[in-house]
Each structure stands twice: as structure tokens, then as C-alpha cells.
Amino acid sequence: MHPYGLNELREKFLSFFESKDHLILPSFSLVPENDPSILLINAGMTPLKPYFTGLKVPPAKRVATCQKCIRTPDIDNVGKTSRHGTFFEMLGNFSFGDYFKKEAIPWAWEFMTEVLGIPEERLYVSIYLDDDEAFDIWHNDVGLPKEKIFRFGKEDNFWEHGTGPCGP
């Protein structure tokens, strides 16, 4: 497996989704536009909330981004856990009514195994606790053994912030 630098990994991700007919959007400002619910952009989908909620028409049905983010709620946990940081770039591929799990899951697998060259035996996935559809796609379509698919509930596998779009 090849060790990738930040710039190379970002480029590979965006190029992969561009090849899947996604419009590549630049990173939005860290200061949210017309969103008083947050101080700073804290997730890749945050600047896209107007598209998910129907307030604005998205520039394309498929988009991909590398969004700069700052997680102010995580500040108290920085250094205490291995999964909390403050500044990061979040890679994301998004569909506005064009595709869902049946396409997104195999694309994630293709990106990890074929583009990045991560050996299949080193990969495990997590799904939301009762998401049988995702389980079936990972197991039956992708071919991942049941033992490598982990179900987690709201505490570990659900994103929410105030009101508006959220989910596993």
C-alpha cells in the first residue's frame, strides 16, 4: 500500500468522484454564510445545508468537496481521545436526489481498494445499528464478510447539530 500525502490523497478523491460525474466545488469559507446555528463550518456538508433543505437549488445533482472544518465542540476532547481534533479537511461526495447507498457504497469500496490500493483484508466498515439495506449492500453486493461489518447506534454513528439535516 502506497503512503499518500495530503495533497495527493485530496486530488485522488476529487478526481475519482469527478470521474463519477460529480461537480467539484471549492472549499467554502470557514465562516458560515447565513447560518446563525454555528460559529464556524464544522462538517463537510454544513455549507450544503441550503441544498439539502431545499432553500437553494444545488449547482449539480452530484457534487464532491474537500471542505475545511473547525470543530469547536471537540476542543475539550482534543488530546484525550484519538478521534477528536479541531481543524481538518473533510472529503465528501454528495447526491441531491440522484443516487443513494446502492451506488455510494460500491464507490467507497472502489476508491479504497482500487484507487488507494488498500488491501481488502485490512478494511472493516461500520453501519447504523438497524440499517439492513447498507448491511445487504456491503455483504451481498460488495462481498464483505459479515464479521467485518459493525453496527453502531446513535452515540457512535449518528451526526447531528441543532436542527436541520442529520443522520448516520
Per-residue pLDDT of the chain (168 residues; tens, 9 = 90+): 789 999 999 999 999 999 999 999 999 999 999 888 888 888 899 999 999 989 999 999 999 999 999 887 777 777 787 766 688 899 999 999 999 999 999 999 999 999 999 999 999 999 999 999 999 999 999 999 999 999 998 887 776 655 555 554
Cα 113 to Cα 107: distance, rounded to the nearest angstrom:
10
127 contacts 150 by C-beta, under 8 angstroms:
yes
Q: What are the residues whose beta carbons fall under 8 Å from the beta carbon of 108, sequence distance 6 or more?
A: none
C-alpha cell, 122: 485490512
Domain residue ranges in the chain: 1-99, 100-163
Predicted TM-score (pTM) of the model is: 0.86
135: left (phi over 0), alpha (psi -120 to 50) or beta: alpha
Class (C level, CATH) for 1-99:
alpha beta
Quickly count: other Cβ atoms within 10 Å of residue 63's Cβ.
Answer: 20
